[in-house]
Structures are given as C-alpha cells and as structure tokens.
Amino acid sequence: MKEQYGDISVKFCAEYVIEVEIRRAPNNFFDQKLISDLADCFIDADNSTTVRAIVLCSDGKHFCAGNNFSSSTANADRETGTRNPLYVEAVRLFHSQTPVIAAIQGAAIGGGLGLAVMADFRIVCPSTRLAANFVKLGFTPGFGLTHTLPRVIGKQKANLLFLTGRRIDGKTAHDWGLGDIFTENEKVRSTAIELAKEIAENAPLAVVSLRNQMRSGLAEAVQRATDIEGEAQQTLQRTNDHQEGIRAVAERRIGSFNGT
C-alpha cells in the first residue's frame, strides 16, 4: 500500500486495518480524480495481504459535501451516449472486495452521500447531515444512488429524500438504518476503527466470500443505474433550472424554477 493517493492519505490504524482519509478540508468536495484515486487505493488494498478492512474518513468539518459546482465543470458537454467518466470511476469502488466502514462527521451531501452509501457500514453522530439534494440543483441523483439508497433504507424513504431534497441528521439516519452505529461526535472515527478491527480479526477468505455473496451483482447494478443517471443528468445540466439551482444552493435560498 502507498501512503498517498493524490489528496487521499493511507495509514495503518490497527492490525490489518487501514485508515483512508480524504484530505480536502474543510468540505472535502469530490471530483473525478479524487474518486479515481480512491478506487486505486481500494484495489491496492484488495491485493494486499496485510489489509482486511478499510476505515473511510475525512479531514475537516465534513465527510464529503458533494461536488463543488462553483469551481467545477459539469459533464453536459461530453459526447451524447458516452458514460460519465466520474461514474466509471465510482463503479470501480463497488468492484472492490475489502469491507469499508465510513466514519461520517458533518455533511455527506449529493455524491458525498453516494460515497457514504457505497460503504458496508456507516458510523454517524449528532453532527452528521445527509442529503440527496439533487432536485434542489435542478437535476437528478447520481453515483448509483437510485439503486443503492433504496437498497439500504427502502424505496419510500429513499423517495422522500430524493423528491424533497431534505437533510436528515445522524439520529434520523440511524433510526432509518442508513447509519449503523450512532455515537458521539468525537468518537466517530474510533468507533469505525473498532468495528473494522472486529471484522479484520476473522478469517479473511471467508469474509471476502461472504461479502461478495451479500453484494452479489451490486457493481453491475450500479453500472446500469449510473448509465441511466448520467444520461438524465447530462440532459438536465443544460437547463435553466439547473443553473438556477446552482445559484440558489450557493446563495442558501429556495430556487425559483420555471421548468426550462
């Protein structure tokens, strides 16, 4: 294992357990490169005999506040019918075989929520804020969330989050099953490490086999979901409503949408 993958640092925090930390504080916005680096890290972990569990965490106030639309270019101009390269990298994460525990402090928003839901388990706390706020941005979910979120919390609760764009706190996330353990703010990472250690002490071949059975077909389903999501997003990113949504979210106000 390398110690650095772009803005991602890696260190052993316990026997057979690595801490994979996103270092783009305070908001830890993601982009294609970050997700690609993270996928490279996970693949290296899969191929390592000394790694049996991953704690995915972030430096700073938020776990991952999503895509920084104010400083990034959308994929609306890519060739029609081609896959969003960001989601190509995201699907690589779902092909990884090492169990992942996400330690979620602060916000996991939009694609940041997608990254959190990719993990096997999520540790949440009072500061946790989760949202699939895509409709407030004038487009639709990505990162495979249309498949993965209903898989975790059920279709109705997923629809509630998708269609309202509302945020939920860590306690609600735990009540809904989106958070697996609810703990104190300052114990999020240590709690994730303890769970990772509990997994890592078991027979590694059995753990990988069981995980593959429990997640059978997941990567392929996420590929199909992101193909549909990417096409819908590409169309909607060209609308006036999307531009208004970006402005409204940046200005912390309700969008004034006109359906164009």
Strand order in the sheet with 181-182: 4-5, 8-14, 17-22, 53-58, 100-103, 121-124, 181-182
Residue 7, pLDDT score: 97
Residue 75, pLDDT score: 57
> Does pLDDT of 71 surpass 80?
no
Confidence of residue 82 (pLDDT cuts 50, 70, 90): confident
102-158: pLDDT as tens digits: 999 999 999 999 999 999 999 999 999 999 999 999 999 999 999 999 999 999 999
88-105: pLDDT as tens digits: 999 999 999 999 999 999
Cα distance between residue 112 and residue 30, in whole Å: 7
Q: Give me the phi and psi of 135, to 5 degrees please.
A: -65, -25
227-240: pLDDT as tens digits: 999 999 999 999 99
- Asked whether residue 216 is domain-assigned, the answer is no
Confidence of residue 72 (pLDDT cuts 50, 70, 90): very low
Q: Show the tokens assigned to 248.
A: 């409204």
- How many separate domains does the chain show? 1
Prior bond of 150 cis (ω within 30°): no
- Asked whether residue 134 is domain-assigned, the answer is yes
Residue 68, pLDDT score: 72
Q: What is the mean pLDDT of residues 197-205?
A: 98
Question: Which CATH number belongs to the domain containing residue 116 in this structure?
Answer: 3.90.226.10
Residue 94, pLDDT score: 98
Percent of the chain at pLDDT exceeding 90? 92
Q: How many helices (H) and strands (E) does the chain have?
A: 10, 10
> Does pLDDT of 77 surpass 70?
no
Residue 67, pLDDT score: 86
**47 CB contacts (<8 Å, ≥6 apart)?**
none
Question: Of residues 65 and 67, which shows the higher confidence score?
Answer: 65
- Asked whether residue 228 is domain-assigned, the answer is no
- Asked whether residue 209 is domain-assigned, the answer is no
- Asked whether residue 199 is domain-assigned, the answer is no
- Asked whether residue 145 is domain-assigned, the answer is yes
> Does pLDDT of 83 surpass 60?
yes
Residue 210, pLDDT score: 98
Domain range for 79 is 4-186
Confidence of residue 163 (pLDDT cuts 50, 70, 90): very high
Q: If DSSP codes are grouped into helix, strand and coil, which group holds residue 253?
A: coil
To the nearest whole number, what is the mean pLDDT of the chain?
94
Q: Which 8-state DSSP code applies to residue 80?
A: T
Confidence of residue 73 (pLDDT cuts 50, 70, 90): very low
Cα distance between residue 210 and residue 221, in whole Å: 18
Cα dist. 177→93, 184, 221 in Å? Answer: 22, 17, 21
- What's the gap between Cα 61 and its chain centre? 16
- Asked whether residue 26 is domain-assigned, the answer is yes
- Asked whether residue 99 is domain-assigned, the answer is yes
Give residue 66's region: left, alpha or beta (phi > 0; psi -120 to 50).
left
172-196: pLDDT as tens digits: 999 999 999 999 999 999 999 999 9
